[in-house]
């Protein structure tokens, strides 16, 4: 997956936006103000921080060398994923899972606006 494909994927979700609150190099993808992906699209190797269910996070880290505890994030809930070392389909699923976890934590009224109750 290329950096452009990762950006397009993150922006393909309902109400997803890209912001740069930390510096001009770090893309922060949010849904209704809540972070679901964080990456430097120019970095090599390309990595992305994604939210993950704590039990799944432990399993994924054990099964894949390309998935480690989230860098500068809450290690229980976030993973850092090296994109090029995983199949594109898996990266897409991990990004979607991160988005879905964040949406699930939103108030019900906000979730309904997204058509993802």
* DSSP assignment of 87-109: -HHHHHHHHHHHHHHHHHTS-HH
**Tens digit of pLDDT at every position of the chain (117 positions):** 999 999 999 999 999 999 999 999 999 999 999 999 999 999 999 999 999 999 999 999 999 999 999 988 888 899 999 999 999 999 999 999 999 999 999 999 898 888 744
pLDDT for the residue 40: 96
CB atoms within 10 A of CB 92: 16
Contact 48, 35 (CB under 8 A): no
pLDDT for the residue 117: 42
CA distance linking residue 9 with residue 46, whole number of Å: 14
Is the pTM higher than 0.85?
Answer: yes
């Amino acid at each position: 997956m290329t950096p452009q494909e990762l950006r397009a994927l993150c922006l393909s979700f309902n109400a997803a936006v890209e912001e740069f609150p930390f510096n001009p190099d770090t893309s922060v993808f949010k849904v209704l103000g809540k972070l679901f992906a964080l990456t430097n699209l120019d970095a090599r190797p390309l990595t992305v921080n994604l939210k993950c269910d704590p039990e799944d996070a432990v399993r994924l880290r054990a099964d894949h060398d390309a998935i480690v505890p989230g860098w500068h994030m809450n290690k229980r809930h976030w993973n850092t994923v090296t994109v090029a070392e995983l199949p594109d389909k898996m990266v897409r699923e991990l990004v979607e899972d991160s988005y879905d976890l964040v949406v699930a934590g939103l108030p019900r009224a906000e979730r309904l606006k997204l058509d993802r109750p």
